[in-house]
Amino acid sequence: MMLDYFSLIQKHLGTDSEVYRFYVPHVVQVTAKALAVARHLQLSEDQLRFIEEAAMLHDIGVVKVRAEDIGCHGELPYISHGVEGSKILEAEGCPEHARVCERHTGVGIRAVDIKEQGLPLPERDMLPETLEEQVICYADKWYSKDPKKLWKPYKFEEITAHFQKFSRADEMIETFTKWRELSEG
């Protein structure tokens, strides 16, 4: 049975909210890319259904964070949106979807990075582990919620350049490059 993800989105973001205008186009683009990758990988119908649901919900935690440029008026820093989304989906009885929320940021976040950088996150590894988690994480990197970039996918070089600002840039670029080869090669 298909999860009614639009009901969850509407419940937590509200159709008349400013963030809804940026959220929906972003997650639709991510979902389309993730499903194209999943079909390329010849994943099962159950995997495709899960990817559709989880990709549509992966950023639901933005409702709790502060990012004025995309209509988010919460109190928490943006980096918290994955963990907050996980909490929302856990409370809604969707633990597998919650894992995607928590693990989709960057190419995942390691506990050591959280500690060393003093990130406002629980100190644990939040790395995509399943193929479905990796596909959604990969697809998410191609699309922004920024109103100026909303309808234009990033180029591979732009994505990898973004990773350069992190201490483990080489590892992040290597992971993303492997995902690209698997997803599109």
pLDDT tens digit sequence for 97-112: 999 999 999 999 999 9
52-82 tens-digit pLDDT = 999 999 999 999 999 999 999 999 999 999 9
pTM over 0.85? The answer is yes
Return the pLDDT at 127: 97
Using an 8 Å Cβ cutoff, are 176 and 162 in contact?
Answer: no
pLDDT tens, residue order, the chain (185 aa): 789 999 999 999 999 999 999 999 999 999 999 999 999 999 999 999 999 999 999 999 999 999 999 999 999 999 999 999 999 999 999 999 999 999 999 999 999 999 999 999 999 999 999 999 999 999 999 999 888 888 899 999 999 999 998 888 899 999 999 999 988 77
Structure tokens that stand for 165 in this block: 């600002």
Domain 5-184, architecture per CATH: Orthogonal Bundle (1.10)
Helix axes 169-184, 156-163, angle to 10 degrees: 150
